[in-house]
Structure 1
């Protein structure tokens, strides 16, 4: 009889055990790309799942071309918010498209709209008992003729840092660590992290391709590894559960 009770308890526990979902929200530098077997472009969150054990499910909700403003206005955030449960994580990295000052559907002032959109993501996530993590925008490959990497994101990373500090949010300074990555490769070899092809060199592109913002599989994987390394270094106890699920 005891044996059957024990088996029942095991089955019941398994039924009620919940996976942790790690939601990623942001833009094309994170997003899943179509036809990944052929397409050389990858978002770093697209290759994040293999770094975690089976108990963590990466739900990559990042989308090409989105800013904090368009992500909210298109109800993309609402669709994530409705699914959030206690103990989930939301990794937040925007900025590239918030900078699009010629586009009223995407542009945000870094010190007002961008800041308050980040605060909304943080508050809404915590309201559900989930844990927000803020990340600065990844660096672009933007070397000058002296080999100096020039920043392109203006005050957007600064505001991300300030919101993280003010609201005590776990924070990964991805701009800084991707700057180090780009610099470690140097002006020429860093092309490997992005999308640089001559016409006909890759079957996916029929024309020359020189894209210093978006990522190759090599670049995406390197940045995913940076993110995982930084998770392991974070001192915030809210991240401890996630640390344990890293392979």
Structure 2
């Protein structure tokens, strides 16, 4: 092989080795959506790549309907774990579907199964020398008649915080920051962050839509911006590399 070709290959491999991979695991508020050119629903993990330079690879493994239980039982975590390599990041956000009391395939007790599943994601990421980052669930648009935003996630965000403290995991309190976002828009204007369409207003939802959990593209971009802003502000040394790769 000619020296010039060898040199080119070495440079290419070196550039590839410098790339940072972020795996995002979680639920539909984070997941990629089908037919994004038509579908107004957008996951915040779907647009996260827009905030990083080309040295960051986002591999969004979040799934619609995902809970910590189903993500493990359906072997989705196993698929991520197998390919993790040293220096990768794992962004972890669950809770919305762990709350589903009527679905035994997804429900977890926040203080037992949910907690231990989150610990598993953390420990197994570290086993591969990857860097886990924990996120509390984003807030739902749930204003009462007095215009007060009321939380819906129970103790799941609390357990996420406690695991982060106990296991010294970088933590972004996305529930808190998304609550601030929702309240800054107010009860009516915050509809734009979610999926609110009258019949005939949007071709993807011809019969209309009223969804206060999932995000519009506007909402997804706003949540991704919150994540990026927190990465910029945190002094945790694990964020040092990511900070340099933000746009």
TM-score band, normalised by the shorter chain? Answer: over 0.9
Q: CA RMSD in A?
A: 1.4
Size of the alignment, in residue pairs?
244
Partner SS, residue 231 of structure 1? helix
Equivalents in 2 of 1:242, 1:6: separation in Å?
33
Q: Could you tell me the TM-score, scaled by structure 2's length?
A: 0.96
Find the residue that maps to 2:199 and give its secondary structure: coil
C-alpha distance in 1, partners of 2:107/2:125?
23
How far has the Cα of 1:13 moved from its partner? 3.7
| Residues 153-205 of structure 1: per-residue CA shift (max 9 Å, x gap) | 00000000000011110110000000000000000000000000000000111
Distance (whole Å) between structure 2 residues aligned to residue 197 and residue 16 of structure 1: 48
Q: What is residue 91 of structure 2 aligned with on the other side?
A: 91
Structure 1 partner of 2:31: 31
Match of 1:108 in 2: 108
SS of the residue corresponding to residue 28 of structure 1 reads coil
Contact 2:29-2:214 at 8 Å conserved across structures: yes
Match of residue 216 from structure 2: 216
- Tell me, what secondary structure is at the counterpart of 1:79? helix
Q: Normalising by structure 1, what TM-score? A: 0.96
- Other-structure match for 1:135: 135
Distance 1:229 1:135 in 2: 14
Contact kept in structure 1, 2:91 and 2:133, CA below 8 Å = yes
Secondary structure in structure 1 of the residue aligned to 2:35: coil
2:122 match: 122
Cα deviations by residue, 1:61-119 (Å, 9 ceiling, x for unpaired) = 00000100000000000000011011000000000000001111000000000000000
- How far the C-alpha of 1:208 sits from its partner, in A, is 2.4
Aligned equivalents of 2:126 and 2:234: distance in 1?
18
Q: Is the 8 A contact 2:202 2:208 kept in 1?
A: no
Matched-pair contact (CA < 8 Å) for 2:86–2:129: yes
Consecutive unaligned residues of structure 2, counting only runs of 5 or more, are none
CA distance in structure 1 between the partners assigned to 2:11 and 2:116 by the alignment? 41
Q: Which residue of 2 aligns with 1:206?
A: 206
> 2:168 and 2:48 mapped to 1: Cα distance?
24
Instruction: Extract structure 1 runs of 4+ deviating beyond 6 A.
Output: 4-7
Q: Partners in 1 of 2:70 and 2:56 — Cα distance? A: 28
Matched residue, 1:14: 12
**In 2, Cα distance between equivalents of 1:119 and 1:192:** 35
> How far apart are the structure 1 equivalents of 2:10 and 2:141?
52
Q: Matched residue of 1:62: which SS?
A: coil
Tell me whether 232-241 or 34-43 shows the greater mean CA deviation: 232-241
Instruction: Please state whether the residue corresponding to 1:21 is helix, strand or coil.
Output: strand
Correspondence list, 1:112-191, <5 A: 112-191=112-191
Q: Which residue of 1 aligns with 2:82?
A: 82
